[in-house]
Amino acid sequence: MDAVPVWLRERRTGVGRPAERSRAEVTAAAIALADREGLAAVSMRRVAAELGTGAASLYRYVDSRDDLLDLMSDEVAAGYRLPEPGGPWLPALLEVCRQGRALMLRHGWLPELVLTRSALGPHGAGLLEHVLAVLAAHPAGAGRKLEAFAVMSTLTAALALNELNAGSAARQSAYLAHVIAAGRHAHLTAALSGGALVPAPRFEDTISRVLVGLLGE
């Protein structure tokens, strides 16, 4: 099997008929479509239609739909604007998470990709490099630093997903209301009895606490 990731299969030399489009162009079309109609709308046919071509043509640029999804993830990761590493590590990592959250809220389909598929391409590797640079002076081992990166990504995506779904959570609370009405589950009832009065912890506070727990003060 050739386990070559998308990012290593490069364009052939200048021989033969030149391509009318680029991989970046296909990726951009897919992102635009996902932004507009969600990840489920990103089918090969619809992306191709977005470009005014046939579905089969996309396979000249991409091996599969999954490849295209990986390209989309990494392309969005190009949007980070990170300062030079330096200074205390916690604020630096929080800034990474803040920007990650902003990117995910702008592209509502991203959290799902980040959570279920963990492929990092060039921009993802650059982000990881930045995090490791920020933690360069930290005494923790490499394993724990890599884990901190994974936890940061996962939690940022999960919290962003919660924010995005906050509107359409009627189904959820409908059933929870029923559970409360049933009488059992005293603690659940107490926790939710405040209605919307339950103060949701703020994003940065949560991430901050988790990172401090993981890496020490």
Q: Which residues bind DNA (CB under 7 A)?
A: 11-21, 41-46, 53-57, 59-61, 64-66
CB 141 within 8 A of CB 148: no
Matching residue, tokens 């980070």: 80
| Closer to DNA by Cβ: residue 7 or 89 | 7
Interacting partner of 17 out of DNA, a second copy, none (Cβ under 5 to 8 A depending on kind): DNA
Interacting partner of 45 out of a second copy, DNA, none (Cβ under 5 to 8 A depending on kind): DNA
Give the nearest distance from C-beta 159 to a second copy in angstroms: 8
In whole angstroms, what is the distance from residue 6 CA to residue 61 CA? 10
Interacting partner of 25 out of DNA, a second copy, none (Cβ under 5 to 8 A depending on kind): none
Give the nearest distance from C-beta 181 to DNA in angstroms: 24
Interacting partner of 178 out of a second copy, DNA, none (Cβ under 5 to 8 A depending on kind): a second copy
Alpha-carbon dihedral sign for residues 192, 198, 201, 203: positive
Interacting partner of 209 out of DNA, a second copy, none (Cβ under 5 to 8 A depending on kind): a second copy
Give the nearest distance from C-beta 26 to a second copy in angstroms: 20
| Closer to a second copy by Cβ: residue 48 or 111 | 111
In whole angstroms, what is the distance from residue 36 CA to residue 88 CA? 39
- At 4, list the tokens: 């070559």
| Closer to DNA by Cβ: residue 60 or 185 | 60
Q: Give 197's DSSP letter.
A: G
Q: Given the rule CB under 8 A, which residues bind a second copy?
A: 3-5, 7-8, 112, 115-116, 118-122, 125-126, 128-129, 132-133, 136, 141-147, 150-151, 154-155, 158, 161-162, 165, 170-172, 174-176, 178-179, 184-188, 190-192, 194, 198-201, 206, 209-214
Interacting partner of 9 out of DNA, a second copy, none (Cβ under 5 to 8 A depending on kind): none
